[in-house]
Structure 1
């Protein structure tokens, strides 16, 4: 578990269909924003906006990849695994579980994928 964003912010963000679609699309493997846009049938500008919101909330992480020509590009991967919301006398309380993947292992997998 890690620090959760304020419950109202987390619920509002997850109430957005594009934010949810981005998280679902990037759960199994990192994807570029244009790839996500094509996958979820959304405008790239919308995807970039939601990616920024999801990163601010800590629900999405960015990894920089390098292609064969030395160009750098960003790929995104969901970190959010579980969000639990509890009702208390003082209001809502959110608890978040993150999938904190080993970035070195992610980079090695991407390098191996590029070599194939």
Structure 2
């Protein structure tokens, strides 16, 4: 993403109960959309809509996994570490801290960029 989202965008995302639950659940371990639907007591379409909005702001990332039958599916992991809102001289500013991807994540991103 080229620029940070505005305070309104982040506030709207964090005001959404499902988005917050997805961030909290995926901050401890990567989860599939189906697992998130169960954990958040939400329909899969609701989870997918929130995941798309969170991904647009680089607050979650997707990683491909392989199931025992050889099918690919995505698991999602929270990138968000901290959000800081400052008020100075009559203006708000927002700072978003994201987790650094681990070596496996960097390798996956590199590999996917070669496709």
Bin the TM-score by the shorter chain.
Answer: 0.7 to 0.9
**Counterpart check, 1:54 vs 2:54:** yes
Give, in whole Å, the separation in 1 of the partners of 2:103 and 2:46: 26
Distance verdict in 2 for CA 1:106–1:76, change over 3 Å: farther
Give, in whole Å, the separation in 2 of the partners of 1:39 and 1:103: 28
TM-score by length of 2: 0.84
CA RMSD of aligned residues (A): 2.2
Structure with higher RCO (Cα < 8 A, 6+ apart): 1
**Counterpart check, 1:75 vs 2:75:** yes
Structural mapping, 1:13-92, within 5 Å: 13-89=13-89, 91-92=91-92
Structure 1 segments, 4+ long, off by >6 Å, are none
Distance verdict in 2 for CA 1:5–1:34, change over 3 Å: same
Give, in whole Å, the separation in 1 of the partners of 2:69 and 2:23: 29
Q: Secondary structure at the match of 1:85?
A: strand
Number of residues of Structure 1 aligned to a counterpart in Structure 2: 107
TM-score by length of 1: 0.83
Structure 1 residues without counterparts, runs of 5 or longer: 108-116
* Deviation of 1:25 (Å): 0.5
Structure 2 residues without counterparts, runs of 5 or longer: 108-115
Q: Which residue of 2 aligns with 1:104?
A: 104
Distance verdict in 2 for CA 1:105–1:12, change over 3 Å: closer
